[in-house]
Amino acid sequence: MSQNSYPTSARNQVKRRHDRGFYDHDTVHRILDSSMLCHVSYVIDGQPYCTPTFFWRE
């Protein structure tokens, strides 16, 4: 793996259409910088939730 890529694991690798998954910093940052909204998903007591929220990166 290149030093210019984010580490991958079974948890964060693209499962469907894996040919469209990119992990290099330039591509990831370009995608993040083109949007201001993301979705944070989590489970509380077995109930799934998904919250749209603004984000930024430093």
Domain boundaries, the chain: 1-58
pLDDT tier at 2 (50, 70, 90 boundaries)? low
Give the span between the Cα atoms of 4 and 18, in whole angstroms.
Answer: 19
- Give SS3 for 34: coil
- CA angle (9, 26, 23) in 5-degree steps: 15
CB 53 within 8 A of CB 38: yes
Whether this model's pTM surpasses 0.75: no
| Residue range 12-58, pLDDT digits in tens | 899 999 889 999 999 999 999 999 999 999 999 999 999 999 998 88
